[in-house]
Amino acid sequence: MIKTNVLLALLRALIVDGQNNHDWQHTTPILKAALESSGRFTVQVATSPPQGQSLDGFKPDFANFDVIVSNYNGQDWPEAAQQALEEYVRNGGGLVSVHAADNAFPNWVEYNRMIGVGGWGGRSDKSGPMLRWRDGKVVRDAHGGGGTHGQFFSFVVETRDPDHPITKGLPARWRHTRDELYATLCGPAENVTVLATALSDVTHQEEPMLMAIRYGKGRVFHTTLGHSVESMEDVGFVATLDRGAEWAATGRVTQGVPANFPTADTVSKWEPPATK
C-alpha cells in the first residue's frame, strides 16, 4: 500500500469482534494488518465474550479511539455499550461496518440508522427501503428487502461517486476477488451516499457495495465486501477499507491509490506485510 506523510499523527482504530457467523478469528488479523499497512493507524482489538456467555461487562472504551471497525455479528450488546457507541458516533466519532456487521443488531434502531441499510435478523420491508442504482442515480425500493446473496464469485465493482474522498481517483470499474455479493439490504437509509455498486447475480440489480453515512456529527463507512480471508486479501478491499476508515475518523483521505489497484479485468491480490 502507498504510505502516507510520516508527519501525520497516527489514528487510533479499534476493531470489535468476538462473535460472528463469519470467520472473525482469521479475518480480524487481516483487517488489523490492512489498516496498519496504510501507515495511518495504530490498531487495538476488543473481543467480546463468546456466543452464549453474558455480555454484561462488555463495554469498549470507544472514546479513546478515532474510528471503530466492527467485525461483529452476534448477541446484542448491553444497553450501556449501545449508548456509548451512539454517543461516540453522534458526537463526531468514526465507525466502519465490515460485511456481516450489517447483519448485526436488527432491533437496535440507532445502529440501523448508523449503517444505513442491513440484512437478515428478521429485517424486512418494515425496516425501511433498499437502495439501488438505476439510470445514473440512487433509487429507493420499498418492497423486497431483508438480505440475500448468491454465489461466491469474483465480480466488478463500479464507482458511482468519483468525487467523494474515499473513492476519488479509483477506476470507474474494478474487479473484486471472490466474495459474497450482498443484495436486498434495507433500513432507514438516511444520509447515505452510495459510493460503489455491483450487479447482483440474484436480483440483477446494482446493489450498494460501499456507502458513506452521516450520523449526527459522525461519519460511517459501510463496506459489504469482505466475507473471508480470500475476500479481504484483495487490493481493492484493502484500499477502500483504509481510505474509508481514514475518512470516518477525520473527514478526509490522505492516502493515494495503490499502483496495483485492480482493473476492470484483473483482480489484484493483497499480500499481508511480512512479520519480523
Position 275 pLDDT exceeds 60? no
- Which regions of 102-241 does DSSP assign to beta strands (E)? 130-134, 137-141, 148-159, 173-183, 192-199, 206-215, 218-223
CB 227 within 8 A of CB 99: yes
The backbone torsions φ and ψ at residue 196, rounded to the nearest 5 degrees and listed phi first, read -155, 150
pTM across the whole model: 0.96
What mean pLDDT comes out for the span 33-59? Answer: 97
Q: What is the pLDDT of residue 273?
A: 87
Q: What is the pLDDT of residue 26?
A: 98
- Rounded Cα distance between 96 and 223, Å, is 8
Q: pLDDT tens for residues 58-105?
A: 999 999 999 999 999 999 999 999 999 999 999 999 999 999 999 999
For residue 273, give the C-alpha cell: 506485510
Position 113 pLDDT exceeds 70? yes
Question: Which distant-in-sequence residues (6+ apart) come within 8 Å of 61 by Cβ?
Answer: none
